[in-house]
Structure 1
Amino acid sequence: MAEVEVNGGVVVYEWVGPEDGERVVLTPGGRFSKDHGGVHELAEGLAAGGKRVLLWDRPNCGSSDVQLFGQTESHMRAATLAAMLEALGEGPVVALGGSGGARDMILFAIEYPHLVTKLGVWSIVGGTFSSMSLASVYAINELRTVRAAGIEGILKLSGRAGSWADLVAANPRNADRLRAIGAEEFERVFERWFEAYVPKPNEPIPGVSETRFAQIKVPTLIIRGGEKDYDHPKRTSYEVHALIPGSVLIDPPWPEDAWEQATRAVARGQGSLFDPWQQAAPVLLDFIDGRPVAERELAVRAS
């Protein structure tokens, strides 16, 4: 593992795979670390295909420094990744991401097109239930807590993976960083970030207007959501596909109910939400290397 300081905060990262391999960035979802189950396994699968995979703890994830800026948390992460690649003298890269990482990488491709050669995303969040569920998980608790207990309450906020208490435990420097931000600024930023999760008719995914998707000009692969995956609706995959010219939409390489199975397993204290992702390595390698994926494509294509 290594560290780089960008935008006033330290980002923890590591490379997996041969040094001369094509550069790929792999971004997980939620506020989960690069070390969350399933992430390294997918990276190793890509590395076995000759890729040099960058894994990173995004701001407010894992061992990196907490940061609060940007229109949304995903905008902040896209800006951080761009600054990190430039600081490391890397790029352009293949941008891959699932769940919240899909949103991060979509915004990265829109905002920093010079740093992206291809885009691959899956488990995309969108729609009323999915978006409002994220609001409850990643913004409402923060707003309730900071208003009731100030920044010291945030330091102790726990109860789920990726909580602020976890971030302080993983990186004690984050306690001082949060205190320096203070309750007033923390609340102000989270009010803005919360608003992104309020469903809007012109935003297929939280915080991203439908007009912006046409700015993505690179080859794009979308792995659609499962048949009854309410957290990553099938419908949203179709919407994003329709909005990115020339994108390819494929059936998932895992079972239709893989997310539901993983969720139940985690509730039993087993495995990780991202365990199914390693099954995507073959199709992602086909996509990156320009091999045909026609046999996996759905009938619907972007015009």
Structure 2
Amino acid sequence: MPTTTINGFTLQYDVIGGGEPILLTPGGRGGMAQMRPLAEQLASAGYRAIIWDRRNCGASDVVIDGGVSEQEHNADEAFELLTRLDATPAYACAGTSGMRAMALRGRGVERHGVAIDVDPGASLLLAIRHPQAVKGVLLTAVTGWPVGAQYLAENYYTCYVEAAQRGGMRAVIEQLAPNQAPDEEPFWAARIRENPRNEQRVLSMDPQHFIRVMESWSAFTLRESYICGVTKEQLAAIRVPTLAIGGGDDEHPTYVAERVTDVVPGAEFHPPVITALERLRLANRDFRDDAAPAVERMEELRSERTLAILLQFLARVGSGAAKPPGGQPAVADVAYQW
């Protein structure tokens, strides 16, 4: 897998297809593998899809340094990566696989498809901090203040602060985040498994330094702002085509996407791709032994609809390279076996 060294540490990335560049950043702290199916679909539609493991994600190096927030680091490093790949300006799209809001972890349910939900920080901050590098922003199932911000802070930062205070960096490696099931691999242990160099990086770290940086990154996420550390004034300064798709769940409330489109000039809002009725049906099914087929079908449906929306938007605002499918399948057109 290709790698590049930025500011002394290694980032892993891959490029699929040719055409207008789209940087695909996983939501949460996911790795680039979960974006590969979407990248392949976009490449088939005529785009150059760039996927990457951010710092502290996937197989890239663990880097805990201060100065700015983790999201701002991500934005700056995304700009450097795009520049090195001669891929500016690019569309910035963030997402992850899975339906986190349905709390299906630990029930033997495998995720499928390319469902997309987002911590909007990286893509928005890339457009804000490096506007010359971005030709459009695609935000789907946007998370934000207050529930989403609290969720991010607890699962990405504060739980590991408590672990470091309790048992140093070895305890950090062993710590499960609140959103993880007991049988899941701890986040930092996974970073070591995917990149063995990270074991020495983590264990040699001063716990007090780690705590200070984690607390500052958490504070950025929780600070009073319009969306997850991004101010209303910063959003209003964005001058590229922007799409925001509502999430429709507690972690990704639809009103957050609506707030984005209220402020970003000319931004387009799209309602959630999964209806409230569909969510209710899945929630009812979730507690039965045969939940897996329903979850799989929901993921497939979410993937189909989201891809159609993205391609239709890109075809409208771009050079016309996209080959959108026949259109988003209507809810009534989909036969469910509930």
Question: What TM-score bracket applies, with the shorter chain setting the length?
Answer: 0.7 to 0.9
Taking the TM superposition and a 5 Å limit, the aligned residue runs for 1:53-64 are 53-64=49-60
Partner SS state of residue 192, structure 2 = helix
Which of these residues, 149, 167, 185, is aligned with residue 149 of structure 1?
Answer: 167
Question: Residue 6 in 1 paired to residue 3 in 2?
Answer: no
Structure 2 CA distance for aligned equivalents of residues 65 and 9 of structure 1: 6
Which of these residues, 8, 28, 33, is aligned with residue 26 of structure 2?
Answer: 28
TM-score, length basis structure 2: 0.76
TM-score, length basis structure 1: 0.84
- Summarize deviations over 1:249-268 as a string: whole Å, max 9, x none: 11233444777859x59xx7
Match of 1:185 in 2: 209
- Summarize deviations over 1:174-226 as a string: whole Å, max 9, x none: 112223432121111111011123252xx121111221111210111111222
Structure 1 CA distance for aligned equivalents of residues 140 and 186 of structure 2: 21
Aligned residue type for 1:193:
W
Question: Residue 138 in 1 paired to residue 156 in 2?
Answer: yes
Match of 2:229 in 1: 207
- Summarize deviations over 1:220-253 as a string: whole Å, max 9, x none: 1111222xx0101111111111110111111233
Aligned residue type for 2:43:
A
- Counting matched residue pairs gives 286
Percent identical pairs in the alignment equals 29
Distance 1:281 1:9, change over 3 A: same
Aligned residue type for 1:287:
F
Question: Residue 44 in 1 paired to residue 68 in 2?
Answer: no
Which of these residues, 51, 73, 82, is aligned with residue 85 of structure 1?
Answer: 82
Distance 1:111 1:256, change over 3 A: farther
Match of 1:300 in 2: none
Structure 2 CA distance for aligned equivalents of residues 162 and 204 of structure 1: 31
Partner SS state of residue 32, structure 2 = coil
Taking the TM superposition and a 5 Å limit, the aligned residue runs for 1:1-303 are 1-17=1-17, 19=18, 21-36=19-34, 39-69=35-65, 70-98=67-95, 99-158=117-176, 160=180, 163-198=187-222, 200=224, 203-226=225-248, 229-256=249-276, 261=282, 276-290=302-316
RMSD of aligned residue pairs (Cα, Å): 3.0
